[in-house]
Amino acid sequence: MLHYDNRQCSAPAILTDSSGIIPSQITDETGCGSVRFPWMLSAMNGQTIRLSIVDFGSELVKRQNNSKADIIYGYIKEAEIRTPFGSNMKRERELYQSKGNQLTLEILPYERRRGVGFFIRYQSRCIVIIYCKYDNTSDYFIIHKEIYSQPPGHVY
């Protein structure tokens, strides 16, 4: 549940949906997802969280002919480790795969990001391991499957 006071966040923004999209513009307009009131993503026990980004700053990096991230957009924090993320030459890319079922996302202010906008997609992930026995033997084989949640309306 998001807490607003006159369209401004007044507490950390907690997201528990299994998937969704976070536009940087929400942070710019409301303060939700900022360093002061970060996005707190939480998946069910046993699941992890995958983040990917659609980066509108990638064209700026390409024009500057620089393959390194030179604009920091924010930080991903998991288990007291704070990892920066920023611009890159690739417009759409994987950003982070959590080890646990909770992480915090802090988006820096518009000016510190040099006016660059982006979308972050988040999805919960579950790993299913099935042990199967071969007929008439004592041998087993393992099926390992990663299952990602899909946004509402996603066509499989």
Report the pLDDT value the prediction gives residue 114, as an integer from 0 to 100. 85
The predicted-structure confidence for 51-102, as pLDDT tens digits, reads as follows 999 998 877 666 665 544 578 999 999 999 999 998 877 889 999 999 999 9
Indicate whether 151 belongs to any domain.
no
Indicate whether 55 belongs to any domain.
yes
Instruction: Give me the helices (H) in 1-156, please.
Output: 24-30, 58-63
Instruction: List all residues 6 or more positions away from 15 whose beta carbon is below 8 Å from its beta carbon.
Output: 22, 39, 40, 41, 42, 122
Q: Which of 31, 39, 36 is nearest to 13 (CA)?
A: 39
Report how many domains make up the chain.
1
Q: Domain containing 92 — which CATH number?
A: 2.60.120.290
Beta partners for residue 134, in sequence order = none
Indicate whether 138 belongs to any domain.
no
Indicate whether 51 belongs to any domain.
yes
Q: E strands of 24-117, at which residues?
A: 39-42, 48-55, 72-78, 81-86, 92-97, 102-107
Indicate whether 109 belongs to any domain.
yes
Beta partners for residue 94, in sequence order = 52
Indicate whether 45 belongs to any domain.
yes
Quote the pTM value: 0.74
Indicate whether 103 belongs to any domain.
yes
Instruction: List all residues 6 or more positions away from 146 whose beta carbon is below 8 Å from its beta carbon.
Output: 125, 126, 127, 128
Indicate whether 71 belongs to any domain.
yes
Mean pLDDT comparison of 39-43, 67-71, 85-89, 142-146, highest-scoring range: 39-43
Of the chain, the percentage scoring pLDDT greater than 70 comes to 71
Domain that holds residue 87: 13-126
